[in-house]
Amino acid sequence: MRSDKPEKKAQTRAWFERLSKEFGDLKSAYGKDYKSIAAGFLFELDHLQIGQIPPDFEAIDENGVKFKLSDYRGKVVVLDFWGFW
DSSP H or E run through 67: strand 66-68
Stretch that binds other proteins, among 6-14, 17-25, 53-61 (CB under 8 A): 53-61
Is 62 a binding residue for other proteins by CB under 8 A? The answer is yes
Q: Which of 4, 5, 7, 53 binds other proteins (CB under 8 A)?
A: 53
How many angstroms separate the CA atoms of 19 and 16, rounded? 5
How many angstroms separate the CA atoms of 66 and 43, rounded? 23
Site for other proteins in 7-36 (CB under 8 A): 36
Is 77 a binding residue for other proteins by CB under 8 A? The answer is yes
Is 81 a binding residue for other proteins by CB under 8 A? The answer is yes
Residue whose CB is less far from other proteins, 14 or 40? 40
Largest CA distance in the chain: 45
Closest CA to 47 of 55, 37, 59: 55
